[in-house]
Amino acid sequence: MKKYLLCLVVLLGWDPASAEDTVVLGRLWKNEPMEYVADTCPENSICLQSWWKWVIDIDKTVSGPPASGRIVAARPQHTSLYGPNLSRFRLFVLRPIVDQKQRKRLRADYYLEDVSFMTEMYCLAQNPTEFGLSPERTFISGDGEERRYCFELPDKDQ
């Protein structure tokens, strides 16, 4: 009877369309094209995106259902990521792939919905304009002695 009731609750209460996103902190371990996924680009067309595999080592779950270990996520993109910052800590927004056929096709458990790319911010206790700095945007946090003015400096090449 308990088994039957549990199955009924699961069947009636579980809505795959409402699969909740998970936000994790981790490092990108591998980024490569999913050459095993057939290209859906129409013939004689130029398509700039295809499915790419993101293998992510999760440090901790920040929000949503827990995820841990090394996971595989799929994301359409047009070129690989490269450079020395590839393995820096980032936030990854993962959406479960609820369609079993799609999971099997992509060989992934998640879609990668978003990823944070590192930017460097500098924070001072005083407004940076007092020192002749003119950042495009300044983010102010805290108040009183805890107030901080945080900003990015423009790239030298800009």
User: Is residue 40 very low, low, confident or very high in pLDDT (cuts 50, 70, 90)?
Assistant: confident
**For residue 139, what pLDDT is reported?**
92
For residues 84 and 102, membership in a common domain is answered with yes
Q: 87 lies in a domain?
A: yes
Q: Within 10 A of 16 (CB to CB), how many other CB atoms are there?
A: 10
Residue 64: its H or E element: none
CA–CA separation, 108 and 25 (whole Å): 18
For residues 27 and 83, membership in a common domain is answered with yes
**For residue 96, what pLDDT is reported?**
98
Structural domain total, the chain: 2
SS3 130: helix
**For residue 79, what pLDDT is reported?**
77
Residue 139 is part of which domain span? 122-151
Q: 9 lies in a domain?
A: no
Give me the mean pLDDT over the 47-60 stretch. 90
**For residue 157, what pLDDT is reported?**
46
